[in-house]
Structure 1
Amino acid sequence: MLTRKGKYGLKALVHLSRLPGGQMAFVGDIAAANRIPKKFLDAILGELRNAGFVQSRKGKDGGYRLAKPATEIKIGHVVRVLDGPLAPISCASRSRYERCEDCDEETCHVRHMMLDVRQAIAEVLDNRSLAQMRDAANDDSALELQVRA
């Protein structure tokens, strides 16, 4: 499940991806525009900076911007950085696998279903860029306006 941290991090990245190339955004502006608590967003942006998704600069002309093009940022990578493994249970995780004490992994129907779930989630998130996510939201808004008209 995507946590608030993951959701807010993705919202902040989409916000930054909409800026003209090289332009910086203040954390307060990102927080206000996306209804994210500023202090929480500060911590999230720090993690995103450490992971190489954003760059920051202090001062009057400072703020945050994407560290690389939105087309190169995969949503699955962002989610893993902020929220950890994609698997709904630890015995289905690739990166943080833990064996369950209460079942036989070879015959456990729950584990086999959760492996499929994990794979389906990874298939979507690992093949979707930040640019695609941003543009899909824009396409959905345009479609909604057409339907209302």
Structure 2
Amino acid sequence: MISQKARYALRALVALAKSAEPDRAVFISDIASSERIPRKFLEQILLDLKHHGIVESRRGKAGGYLLLKAPEEITFGEVLRIVDGPIAPLPCLSKTAYRRCEDCRSEESCEVRKVFARVADVTRNVLDRTSIADCLSTDSGKVNLLIAG
């Protein structure tokens, strides 16, 4: 299950991608209001995304946030890894934070690992191939279910 923070991050990115003018910053208060995200929490989320090069912020009267990367280049997998950490269901399957399971005798013969390796592969495949842009298409009902939970 993904965290509430990850769901908010994905919804905020979709809101930024839907912005009528791509080069115009969107006020954080507008995103918070339209997406029903607590403003203080959204500020933390957008700051994390800014540090990872996903969004940028602008100050001043026309200030706010906008996407630094194209919506096609921002995948669900990337966002989830930034916000929630590794996607793998077991530490021994993580691509970014591998750790051998303490109680495992042999990864090669572990039945549990074999099943969850398939789960992890399918999950990564979907998340790393689904972009924020995919949520903008007219036939995005299936993708929207991922965000809405």
- When normalised by structure 2's length, the TM-score is 0.87
Is there any run of 5+ residues in structure 1 with no aligned partner, and where?
Answer: 142-149
Q: Does 1:101 align with 2:102?
A: yes
Match of residue 78 from structure 2: 77
Identity of aligned residues (%): 44
Alpha-carbon deviations, 1:72-107, whole Å to 9, x = none?
212211111111111012111111111112122222
Equivalences for residues 11-30 of structure 1 within 5 A: 11-19=11-19, 20-30=21-31
**Is the CA contact 2:134–2:140 (under 8 Å) kept in the aligned structure 1?**
no
RMSD: 1.6
C-alpha distance in structure 1 between counterparts of 2:140 and 2:118, whole Å: 29
**1:139, distance to aligned residue in structure 2 (A):** 4.3
- Deviation for aligned residue 1:32: 1.0
- In 2, Cα distance between equivalents of 1:12 and 1:32: 11
Residues 30-57 of structure 1: CA deviation (Å, up to 9, x unaligned):
0111111111100000011111111101
Paired position in structure 2 for 1:60: 61
Provide the TM-score with structure 1 as the length reference: 0.87
Point out the more displaced range, 95-104 or 4-13.
95-104
Distance 2:59 2:110 in 1: 52
The unaligned stretches of length 5 or more in structure 2 are: 143-149
